Amino acid sequence: MKRSFSIDGLSLVGQGIMVKGWVQSRRDHGGLIFVDLRDHRGIIQLVLTPEKGEAFKIAEKIRDEFVIQANGTVRNREKGLVNPKLTTGQIEVLVDDLKILSTSKPLPISIFQENASSEEQRFKYRYLDLRSNKSQYILKKRAEYLRILRNFMEKNEFLEVTTPILGVSSPEGARDFLVPSRVHPGKFYALPQSPQQFKQLLMVGGVYRYYQIAPCFRDEDPRADRLYGDFYHLDLEMSFVEDGEEVRSTVEPLIKDLITNFASKKLLNDTIPVLSYQEAISNYGSDKPDLRFDMKLINLEECFRNTNFEVFKKAFINGGVVKAIKVTKGSKLSRSQIDHYTTLAKEDGAKGLAYIIREGDQFKSPITKFLSKTELDSVAQKTELNDGDLIFFGADNPDIVNRVLGRLRNEIASDLGLRDDNIVSLVWVVDFPYYEWDETNQKIDFGHNPFSMPKGGLEALSTDNLLSVIADQYDMVMNGYEICSGAIRNHDPQVMYKAFENIGYPKETVDQKFGAMVNAFRYGAPPHGGCAFGIDRILMVLIDEPNIREVLAFPKNGSGIDLMMGAPSFIDDKQLKELGLKSIF
């Protein structure tokens, strides 16, 4: 008898059926034994009677999570015994023959009660955790999601090309994972942080449009929205484009379709807004703003330019700013919440956190005694402060103020429930700084990576103010998460040499690190640009999963450890010797 799937039983009433799967539960009612059998499509009820002899005896021995095979006849359940919670709840299988295919010890984790087992335990026994309804749902949604990505790319003339995993180390912002070479002692491969150089070389090689579901590797600290070690990009590149708008307009329909059709969510705006990096930082305190709620940063310079309040006055004298965010009905915030926000502000470099609450025509705050009525009225007008509203102030250099108020904006939105999970906000952030100041190493470095084209080309790089150079670079932000980063690429060797020269790298270093790409650009390189979408992060948002680790089949824990396989692990002396290495641990 050919195996049938449990979900197909609806059309098989009166017919013989073979089913195989896991025992979800077993109920012994004396003269009858009921077994809920689970396969990848669902659950079906088996019924065993003493008249079946051997099959009934075997049923007395089975336990939860045993793997069994049952042959029998499909029949309708008796009236009153229908289970509307199951797709197969109207039928059952009267079993003739039963076979145990595999036994199971009692499970070390609970797989059908959410949050009953810790993440550490679930990841240690991930092969069991994958049986849970949630894990099965995510695996199927991920497969559907990847099919949509590939179908879109193929329809839009993108060619799927697989690029190497073992490559050369390059300065792209994060630490590389290095792989020692046994056959070339002393030399190392690097696992790719992205297929950046290879995809640009494909453009030189005549590929019109490239894409890949690309594995990427970065030795960065893990966090809730970022995986440690390995993750996946929808990586793509387009030839003969000279403007980021062409790339953005090409990929927008894909993301909109995922939101509305795949995730059945609503777009905040049909037309995706575009903000410059400076606008995003100035208005939202972040280059990845969540636009589902307003709460913009409001510049109060005109209100306090002539103030006698020492804190604000000192900020202006030192070239700083005074800004605020308004919390509608913020008077509902508790004293402990305000104290918590003050602690967060100090963590981000602020000296404190001033605030004002409006109650009717009165302003309540420890700082009101330092402010004139004219200043208070001006602030109320500028911020549209109504009865019951609260404003938090930031007064310091612009970087600190924007960072502090931007973080508070997100914290307050979480505390007040201002985010609607059924709505998705998309925004393009463009015109990133080409260079930035590296506070740790006290020097100027690349803002993102060295492969973007500076707006204005070579001429733009010939300036004494390198921090003013703008890259033709763009990020897509979804509900406050960066989900895509891209740029029009630098395809001119002279521009690349100058870009590196500006931060202290000689021509020889560029040739050593990027020799293949620089040489390739000398043989007719088309202008090109592209981007890479973080597909794990996008899926996390679309299925309302707060922890990105849950969208993978085999994740590492929050410390980057694979608890199931025991990685990373020490290797023995023989392996080290073959590689010409010695451990200091």
Asked if the structure places residue 80 within a domain, the reply is yes
Tally of residues, the chain: 585
pLDDT digits (tens, 9 = 90+) for 341-385: 999 999 999 999 999 999 998 999 999 999 999 999 999 999 999
Residue at a domain's end among 418, 453, 481: 418
Query: What's the structural domain count of the chain?
Result: 3
Residue at a domain's end among 379, 399, 418: 418
44-67 burial, b at 16+ Cβ within 10 Å, e below that, comes to bbbbbeeebeebbebbeebeebbb
Burial class (CB in 10 A: 0-12, 13-18, 19+), 416: middle
Residue 153 has which token pair?
Answer: 């790319």
The torsion of the CA quartet 203, 207, 208, 211, rounded to 10 degrees, works out to: -90
Q: What's the confidence (pLDDT) of residue 12?
A: 81
Given a cut of 70, is residue 552 above it in pLDDT? Answer: yes
Given a cut of 90, is residue 170 above it in pLDDT? Answer: no
What mean pLDDT comes out for the span 90-114? 94
Asked if the structure places residue 173 within a domain, the reply is yes
DSSP H or E stretch at residue 342: helix 335-347
Residue 209 has which token pair?
Answer: 């449009």
Asked if the structure places residue 575 within a domain, the reply is no
Phi, psi torsion values for 327, nearest 5 degrees: -110, 105
Question: Which residue range is the domain that position 210 belongs to?
Answer: 135-274+427-552
Distance from C-alpha of 168 to C-alpha of 521, rounded to nearest angstrom:
18
Q: How close are the terminal C-alpha atoms of the chain, in Å?
A: 59
What mean pLDDT comes out for the span 96-100? 96
Say which residue, 57 or 223, is predicted with more confidence: 57
Burial class (CB in 10 A: 0-12, 13-18, 19+), 543: middle
514-529 burial, b at 16+ Cβ within 10 Å, e below that, comes to beebbebbeeebebbb
What mean pLDDT comes out for the span 497-514? 90
DSSP state of 188: E
Give the range among 317-321, 376-380, 547-551, 581-585 with minimum mean pLDDT: 581-585
Distance from C-alpha of 538 to C-alpha of 485, rounded to nearest angstrom:
13
DSSP state of 31: S
Q: 270 and 203, same structural domain?
A: yes
**Block residue for tokens 């911020």:** 383
Asked if the structure places residue 116 within a domain, the reply is no
Give the range among 56-65, 535-544, 570-579 with minimum mean pLDDT: 570-579
Q: What is the pTM of this model?
A: 0.91
Q: 11 and 48, same structural domain?
A: yes
Given a cut of 80, is residue 4 above it in pLDDT? Answer: no
Q: What's the confidence (pLDDT) of residue 7?
A: 61
Given a cut of 80, is residue 209 above it in pLDDT? Answer: yes
Q: 156 and 41, same structural domain?
A: no
Given a cut of 70, is residue 9 above it in pLDDT? Answer: no
Q: What's the confidence (pLDDT) of residue 1?
A: 59
Residue 384 has which token pair?
Answer: 């549209």
Given a cut of 80, is residue 509 above it in pLDDT? Answer: yes
Question: Which residues are within 8 A (CB) of 149 and not within 5 positions of it... i.e. 6 or more apart?
Answer: 213, 234, 254, 535
Q: What is the CATH number of the domain that holds 256?
A: 3.30.930.10
Q: What's the confidence (pLDDT) of residue 115?
A: 83
Q: Look at residues 66, 57, 53 and name the one whose alpha carbon lies nearest to residue 28.
A: 57
Q: 448 and 393, same structural domain?
A: no
**Block residue for tokens 């307009």:** 249
Asked if the structure places residue 397 within a domain, the reply is yes
Q: 303 and 356, same structural domain?
A: yes
Asked if the structure places residue 202 within a domain, the reply is yes
Strand extents, DSSP E, 5-41: 16-28, 33-39
The torsion of the CA quartet 457, 462, 467, 470, rounded to 10 degrees, works out to: -10
Q: What are the residues facing 235 on neighbouring strands?
A: 212, 532
Give the range among 102-111, 273-282, 391-400, 510-519 with minimum mean pLDDT: 510-519
Q: Look at residues 93, 75, 79 and name the one whose alpha carbon lies nearest to residue 37.
A: 93
Residue 159 has which token pair?
Answer: 């060619």
Q: 85 and 145, same structural domain?
A: no
Residue 144 has which token pair?
Answer: 């559907």
What mean pLDDT comes out for the span 458-464? 92
Query: Chain-wide mean pLDDT for the chain?
Result: 93
Q: Look at residues 264, 257, 258 and name the one whose alpha carbon lies nearest to residue 422.
A: 264
Give the range among 5-14, 255-264, 315-324, 427-436 with minimum mean pLDDT: 5-14
Residue 358 has which token pair?
Answer: 């409006």
pLDDT digits (tens, 9 = 90+) for 313-330: 999 999 999 999 999 999
Q: What's the confidence (pLDDT) of residue 541?
A: 96
Given a cut of 80, is residue 519 above it in pLDDT? Answer: yes
Q: What is the CATH number of the domain that holds 396?
A: 3.30.1360.30
319-345 burial, b at 16+ Cβ within 10 Å, e below that, comes to ebbbbbbbbbebeebeeeebeebbeeb
Query: Predicted confidence band at 449 (pLDDT cuts at 50, 70, 90)?
Result: confident
Q: 323 and 255, same structural domain?
A: no
Q: 267 and 139, same structural domain?
A: yes
The edge-to-edge listing of strands for the beta sheet with 355-359 is 298-299, 321-327, 390-396, 355-359, 362-364
Given a cut of 70, is residue 173 above it in pLDDT? Answer: no
Query: Predicted confidence band at 294 (pLDDT cuts at 50, 70, 90)?
Result: very high
Residue 525 has which token pair?
Answer: 């390189």
Burial class (CB in 10 A: 0-12, 13-18, 19+), 217: buried
Given a cut of 90, is residue 280 above it in pLDDT? Answer: yes
Q: What's the confidence (pLDDT) of residue 8?
A: 60
Q: 216 and 263, same structural domain?
A: yes
Q: What is the CATH number of the domain that holds 27?
A: 2.40.50.140
Asked if the structure places residue 577 within a domain, the reply is no
Residue 256 has which token pair?
Answer: 């909109």
Q: What's the confidence (pLDDT) of residue 299?
A: 97
Q: 524 and 475, same structural domain?
A: yes
Q: 537 and 437, same structural domain?
A: yes
Asked if the structure places residue 57 within a domain, the reply is yes
Q: 320 and 400, same structural domain?
A: yes
